Structure 1
Amino acid sequence: MANEDISKQITAKFGNHLRSRVNGILIQDDKLLMIRHKMGNQRVFWSVPGGGMEYGAAAEENLKREFIEETGLEVAVEKYLFVHELLAPPLHAMEHFFLVRQTGGKLMLGKDPELSDRSQIIEEISWMDLKSIQSLPHDTLHQIFWGIKSLEDLVLLRGYFKFGNNYLK
């Protein structure tokens, strides 16, 4: 699918309305599980596994579903960490971050069931150490990672965070 079509697909599926999202921080052996998404216009975006909440399902159940869909891993939700408000029109989301631990499954490149097979945006799953995360250009990395000095910083974050950035540029 052409890059401009990916941007249009992302806007059509996820844009122009408020989304509630859940995201999981999974750290093992001093590495964080990260996913690279293609965003169109030759852009990529790195973040942790997660996605939109389905009506009628609790946040923990939504997060467990997202991990299986995107990574093949089964997780247990340990605790709620913080909320990040993404306001980058056409995208607007309240992103809830949780600490999780792996309980089963096998790591594999998953897919987003909201998108067709030819429109998938998940490109790569990787265990990344802090140095690898810090080496990524800021415009390809979720803002929660911009100022961290250790992976443990993510687990210590509490409260409400808001950053602006247009991921579809």
Structure 2
Amino acid sequence: MDKSRYSGEIRVRSCGILIEDGKILLVHLYSPVTDDWIWIPPGGKVQFGESTAEALKREFNEETGLDVVVKDLLYTNELIQNDIHAVEFYYLVSRIGGKLKVGKDPEIDENDQIIKDLKFFDREELASINVVPQFIASELWEVLDPS
């Protein structure tokens, strides 16, 4: 994987938390940060002139085939590791259409795609997978239901 497309700049990312039937939708992809397969909420880079909400709708559809409406901002994360620096916004989203399917990153060649799978996970299942950021496994459910 060519990490240079992710390094040397501050990347702004917009990501979506889709919860259905008590489960969160995650994308299984190869991470340029960890050099490992991880499970992460769908999302990606905000393009110049694009709002975080617009970017999230576009990225969510590219990666999952689903159309979403963007709701509350739940979490922000700043990642600085080696040559990679990202500021990430995690929004609650709701499905409004589309058909769930493993998508792809249009910025990456067909033969080098990093998205492998999609799956809904319940809270207990998150403990047994490599989920990023850790907020998803450790704090998300308390943020969603603080009672």
The alignment's TM-score, normalised by the length of structure 2, stands at 0.90
Whole-angstrom CA distance in 2 between matches of 1:156 and 1:114: 36
Partner of 2:132: 141
Percent of paired sites with the same residue: 35
Q: What RMSD in Å do the two structures reach over aligned CA positions?
A: 2.0
| Amino acid paired to 1:112 | D
1:35 aligns with 2:27: yes
Whole-angstrom CA distance in 1 between matches of 2:142 and 2:14: 19
Distance 1:114 1:130, change over 3 A: same
Gaps of 5+ in 1: 1-5, 158-169
Partner of 1:48: 41
1:155 aligns with 2:144: yes
The answer to whether the Cα contact below 8 Å between 2:68 and 2:94 also exists between their aligned partners in 1 is yes
Whole-angstrom CA distance in 1 between matches of 2:137 and 2:141: 14
Deviations 1:69-121 (A, max 9, x none): 00000000111122100111221100011110000000000001111111110
Whole-angstrom CA distance in 1 between matches of 2:115 and 2:71: 25
Whole-angstrom CA distance in 1 between matches of 2:87 and 2:19: 22
Whole-angstrom CA distance in 2 between matches of 1:42 and 1:86: 15
Among residues 117, 142, 152, which one is paired with 2:110 in the alignment?
Answer: 117
How many residue pairs get aligned? The number is 145
1:69 aligns with 2:58: no
The answer to whether the Cα contact below 8 Å between 1:99 and 1:155 also exists between their aligned partners in 2 is no
Structure (1 or 2) with the greater helix fraction: 1
The alpha carbon displacement at 1:17 in A equals 1.1
